[in-house]
Amino acid sequence: MSKQFDVVVIGGGPGGYISAIRAAQLGFQVACIDEWKNAAGGPAPGGTCTNVGCIPSKALLQSSEHFEHANHHFAEHGITAKDVKMDVAKMIARKDSVVKQNNDGILYLLKKNKVTFFHGRGSFAGKAEGGYTIHVAGKTEEDITAKQVIIATGSNARALPGTPFDEVNVLSNDGALRVGAVPKKLALIGSGVIGLEMGSVWRRLGADVTILEGLPTFLGAVDEQIAKEAKKAFDKQGLKIELGVKVGEIVNGKKGVTVNYTNAKGEAVVLDADKLIVSIGRVPNTIGLNAEAVGLQLDERGAIVVDADCKTNLPGVWAVGDVVRGPMLAHKAEEEGVAVAERIAGQHGHVNFNTIPWVIYTSPEIAWVGRTEQQLKADGVAYKAGTFPFLANGRARALGDTTGMVKFLADATTDEILGVHMVGPQVSELIAEAVVAMEFRASAEDIARICHAHPSLSEATKEAALAVDKRTLNF
């Protein structure tokens, strides 16, 4: 007789493990199946985010930023740092240990919440009485059943046609996070989030980095003014970003990779590099789910089709995170996971797609929530804009990092905040205030009238809100 659960979650990334914990908190018998293996073949829950995404990339960004500061910024504080060296193996080992702490933390949390964890691949074996049979293939094989199934199987890196990842020369996000030595010349295709974050890591460590982007605009989804400011900073750092290119033949040879492309002027260019990172987006992952066995509907991109509540076409089957529509972000996956668990319990879980923040962890950081100026124009919304530069912020001057600005967009009539856009130091943290404000449908004046600690970077947020009404105090 197969083990029976109320809820089975397939996938243990941020969408999966969080929905499993929330369902268990709500009193359900829950199983979570995840197939990710660590180097020793053991379980490594946390998905892309923990193993080859959010967490390891931020660990490397931190290490490389320390290196850059020691080399280029300590001197202005009067600190002499001679012969600064980077031990890449040690940096990667530290990153691996940060990942392991997170894997172990998730296993602990699942146990604490009495979620039964299965290490292996989960696939639909068919319909069972009142629910579904899920086959688990790990060290052993078994069938389990549940009335409710939450699919959170995530996404995989998209390869360029004809150029498979070998993770030696042609790297996905996985290989990009475990390069053993600083490449002399690094090429990246795609100047999106991964291209900029990973390009920054290896540039700071000394690589000559070129990013090739197909679109003619830089960071098209970001507010234009903010993207322009960020591009200026990246140019100054020596991160070469070529826009409007058409990538042609790629030769993966013994000594490295040759990328043939046509630049924006229509000229043929040959770029030789030691390594190539391909960061051109990700594809939803339903490999091995045996979706056909139960007639689960997928769209033309291979994403599971869901409604606004994450319900699939099958009764009792839900899907969340990267495997469904919407932004591929860990916090979006988590919010959907919580909402689905609550809906299964008859509650009214809700995800507000208008207030999902985005952060790009480069230096300067880029963060935003809500609509951009170009979107408001396209939507025909009358708005007022207010900006405040970090150059005029005392804390930023003390930190020695005055790049960038905070920008508010508010409704011209009601003053409701419609979007907040930031580029500058630690804006990954500053954006939280804007998310809270928008969630409570605050006006720009609400933020302008709130007392912010001095000296703090958050004063730039207050001043940008004041700027909406043209009454900044410090600029």
35 is a site residue for ligand FAD (CB under 6 A): yes
Distance from C-alpha of 376 to C-alpha of 271, rounded to nearest angstrom: 39
CA 104 to chain CA mean position, Å: 21
361 is a site residue for ligand NAI (CB under 6 A): yes
Distance from C-alpha of 333 to C-alpha of 320, rounded to nearest angstrom: 6
Positions in 255-294 near ligand FAD (CB under 6 A): 285, 288-289
How many of the other CB atoms lie within 10 Å of CB of 27? 9
The residue behind tokens 């990973």 is 198
Please pick, from the candidates 91, 149, 150, 152, the single residue that binds ligand FAD as defined by CB under 6 A.
152
Cβ at position 109, least distance to ligand FAD in Å: 15
Please pick, from the candidates 214, 256, 316, 455, the single residue that binds ligand NAI as defined by CB under 6 A.
214
The residue behind tokens 């409007």 is 244
Name the closest residue to ligand NAI (Cβ): 192
3-class secondary structure, 138: strand
User: Does residue 298 come out as left (phi exceeding 0), alpha (psi in the -120 to 50 range) or beta?
Assistant: beta
Phi and psi for 267 in degrees, rounded to 5? -85, 145
DSSP at 193: H
197 is a site residue for ligand NAI (CB under 6 A): yes
- 235: closest CA among 419, 43, 426, 403? 403
| CB-count exposure of residue 185 (10 Å: 0-12, 13-18, 19+) | middle
Choice between 124 and 388, CB closer to ligand FAD? 124
3-class secondary structure, 438: helix
Q: Which of the stretches 33-41, 134-142, 191-199, 444-452 binds ligand NAI when contact is defined by CB under 6 A? A: 191-199
Q: Which of the stretches 131-139, 186-194, 311-319, 436-444 binds ligand NAI when contact is defined by CB under 6 A? A: 186-194
Positions in 222-281 near ligand NAI (CB under 6 A): 247, 279-281
Q: Say whether 454 is catalytic.
A: yes
Choice between 109 and 391, CB closer to ligand FAD? 109
Report the DSSP pairing between strands 141-151 and 317-319.
Answer: parallel
Distance from C-alpha of 84 to C-alpha of 339, rounded to nearest angstrom: 48
Q: Which of the stretches 11-19, 182-190, 436-444, 452-460 binds ligand FAD when contact is defined by CB under 6 A? A: 11-19
Selection from ligand NAI, ligand FAD, none that 152 binds (CB < 5 to 8 A by kind) is ligand FAD
Please pick, from the candidates 359, 385, 405, 465, the single residue that binds ligand NAI as defined by CB under 6 A.
359
Q: Which residues are catalytic?
A: 454
Which residues make up the interface to ligand FAD (CB under 6 A)?
10-16, 33-36, 47-49, 53-54, 57, 121-123, 152-155, 173, 194, 285, 288-289, 321-323, 328-331, 333
Which residues make up the interface to ligand NAI (CB under 6 A)?
189-195, 197, 212-215, 247, 279-282, 327-329, 359-361
